[in-house]
Structure 1
Amino acid sequence: MKAQIIPQCRGDNILSAIILCGGHSKRMGTDKGLIILDGKPLISCVLDKIKPYFDEIFIVLRDEEQKKEYLKLLKDEDVKVITDIIKGKGPLGGLLTGLKSIKSENALVLPCDSPFITREFIENCLKIGNLEEYDAIIPVWEDGRLEPLHGIYNRRVVERIHRLLLKDERRMSTLAKIIRSRLVHVEELDPSLKSFRNVNRPEDLRI
């Protein structure tokens, strides 16, 4: 059952979400999305937070081998598990795959290693999610650092991503600079900042 969200908070009909899970984690020594936190894999932690809000959720993986593992884990979940269209291009390649798969015009994009996403973050994203004048909404820190893996993107950026990947440019931050990005301070989306906590090392699992 989907959360009851008043229509004006739906922004520009953001009904799709994309979770990027294709990266290799040398520091963790295992697939990040399958790491257990409080008895659940990280991918399940993220899913549990976002699935009440979205009509379709895509989980983007790097290859068929990884897909088999996730399908076993998520067999009872109403999600679409897909693999990168262009292999080995990192998060930007995953974003391309996800945006080419969604039915809606926009999608909330998240990494699988952010299990502390808050309800407030999701609802604030939905409130400001109108992308008529922008190609993306991207959180920004006070010092100017971007959080492009916690953004909202419109499908029209697909061609821009293609061009970057043809040049072997894989940085999400580069995409953010060449499209019409609306930058929103991280505190505006999540005053607690918990949503932007990533799991990069085993010690990051300690809450």
Structure 2
Amino acid sequence: MQTQKHISIYILCGGKSSRMQTEKGLVMFNNKPFIEWILEAVKPISNQIYLITENTDYSIYNYPLLADIHKNKGPVGGIHTALTHTNTQQNLILSCDIPMISTHIINRYLINSKVINSNIAFVSDSTRDYPLIGMYSVNNLQKFEDAIQQNHLKLMSLIQASTYHRIQVASRDFEALYNINTKDELRTLIQSRP
């Protein structure tokens, strides 16, 4: 499959998760850290891959590590850092806690969809939105800059004040979207695997 030269990929590695009580991207699932599952999913899509983190433990993966420009601003700060750094119009933003994500899911719903050139496009299942499985145009940079200056750090509120597309995912693909925030959720995921 042809990699996309016009898309940059930013994985928000976050910090030490209070609910998981450890560095979330390095949590193990099926003998690999979460971050490895995500990297495997995105490598066929683009060779412009960046990890937004200050944690040098991630340097073993040989991708550039970017520290947040504005510290402790959550996902809004991470996306702002990505949009400040990027040299592409469209940017795939992913959280580090979605170990079931796949190349197929990203391509099907985001890269090859009609909304590829939207300002913001993200996936949704029947009950939840996943703004950290989304495409963000660099045109959003000023909005994210303003939000940080005003300390408006609720990502969905910021998105809803913008032009966006919510992409409904087929029920058979819901599992790929799940973000694992707690040890209980991780246990449930492990037990559900054959």
TM-score interval w.r.t. the shorter chain?
Answer: 0.7 to 0.9
Query: Are the equivalent residues in 1 in contact too, given 2:105–2:173 (CA < 8 A)?
Result: no
Q: Tell me the secondary structure at the aligned position of residue 151 of structure 1.
A: strand
Query: Are the equivalent residues in 2 in contact too, given 1:23–1:90 (CA < 8 A)?
Result: no
Separation (CA, whole Å) in 2 of partners of 1:120 and 1:52: 10
Query: Are the equivalent residues in 1 in contact too, given 2:68–2:78 (CA < 8 A)?
Result: yes
Query: Are the equivalent residues in 1 in contact too, given 2:45–2:103 (CA < 8 A)?
Result: no
- TM-score, normalised relative to structure 2: 0.88
Query: Are the equivalent residues in 1 in contact too, given 2:100–2:176 (CA < 8 A)?
Result: yes
1:114-153 equivalences in 2 (<5 Å): 114-124=98-108, 125-128=110-113, 129-131=115-117, 134-143=118-127, 145-153=128-136
Matched, 1:110 2:98: no
Q: CA deviation at 1:14?
A: 4.4
Q: Indicate the residue corresponding to 2:179 in structure 1.
A: 198
Identify the match of residue 159 of structure 2 among 160, 176, 179: 176
Give the direction of change, closer, same or farther, for the CA distance of 1:51–1:57 in structure 2 (3 Å limit).
same
Separation (CA, whole Å) in 2 of partners of 1:55 and 1:176: 27
Give the direction of change, closer, same or farther, for the CA distance of 1:24–1:169 in structure 2 (3 Å limit).
farther
Q: Once superposed, what is the RMSD of the aligned Cα atoms?
A: 1.8
Higher-strand-fraction structure: 2
Separation (CA, whole Å) in 2 of partners of 1:138 and 1:86: 24
Q: Indicate the residue corresponding to 2:25 in structure 1.
A: 33
Query: Are the equivalent residues in 1 in contact too, given 2:121–2:135 (CA < 8 A)?
Result: yes
Identify the match of residue 58 of structure 2 among 64, 70, 85: 70
Which residue identity is paired with 1:101? H
Q: CA deviation at 1:186?
A: 2.4
Query: Are the equivalent residues in 1 in contact too, given 2:123–2:129 (CA < 8 A)?
Result: yes
Q: Indicate the residue corresponding to 1:83 in structure 2.
A: 67
Number of paired residues? Answer: 186
Which residue identity is paired with 2:69? I
Moved more, 16-25 or 92-101: 16-25
Separation (CA, whole Å) in 1 of partners of 2:19 and 2:26: 14
Identify the match of residue 143 of structure 2 among 144, 156, 160: 160
Deviations 1:135-190 (A, max 9, x none): 111223334x4211111000010100111111111111012111110111122xx7
Q: CA deviation at 1:203?
A: 3.2
Q: Tell me the secondary structure at the aligned position of residue 158 of structure 2.
A: helix
Separation (CA, whole Å) in 2 of partners of 1:194 and 1:14: 28
- Structure 2 residues without counterparts, runs of 5 or longer: none
Give the percent of matched residue pairs that are identical in Structure 1 and Structure 2.
Answer: 26
Segments of 4+ moved more than 6 angstroms: none
Matched, 1:60 2:52: yes
Separation (CA, whole Å) in 1 of partners of 2:70 and 2:143: 15
Which residue identity is paired with 1:142? S
